[in-house]
């Protein structure tokens, strides 16, 4: 395993920005899957059907 704290500050910053990007994409995909699964049911409930 790579010890991130031993990396130069520029590399650490890149790892951090990469981690935020990875989490954002993972959440986008994850919530997207949930939305696809239950989104239409929620819309129907909101429409009062």
Partner 1 sequence: MEPALLVLFVVFGLLIGILFGFFGMGGSFLVTPALLVLGYPSRVAVGSGLAFVFGTSVIGALRHRDHGQVDYKLAAIMTVAMTVGIEAGKRVVDTLHAAGSADLVISVTYVGLLAAVGLVTLRDARSTGSSSVDLSERVQALEIPPMVTLRGDVRVSGTLIVALGLVVGVLSGFLGVGGGFLLMPAMMYGLGVPAAIAVGTDILQITISGAFGAFVYAKDGLVALPVVATLLLGSALGARIGASATSLVDDDEIKGYFAAMLLAGSLAVATKRIGATYGIEALSTVSIALVFGATVLVSGAVVLAAVCRLRNGGTDTWCRLLTS
CA 27 to chain centroid, in Å, comes to 2
CB 41 to partner 1: min, Å: 13
Nearest alpha-carbon partner for 17 in 2, 25, 33, 28 = 25
7 binds partner 1 per the rule CB under 8 A: no
Candidates 7, 23, 33, 40: give the one binding partner 1 (CB under 8 A). Answer: 23
Count of beta carbons in the 10 Å neighbourhood of residue 7? 13
- Residues near partner 1 (CB under 8 A) are 9-10, 12-14, 16-17, 19-21, 23-25, 27-28, 30-32, 35, 43, 46-48
């Amino acid at each position: 395993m790579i010890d991130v704290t031993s990396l130069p500050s520029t590399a650490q910053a890149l790892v951090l920005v990469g981690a935020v990007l990875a989490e954002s994409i993972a959440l986008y995909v994850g919530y997207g899957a949930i939305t696809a699964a239950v989104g239409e049911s929620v819309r129907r409930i909101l429409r009062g059907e």
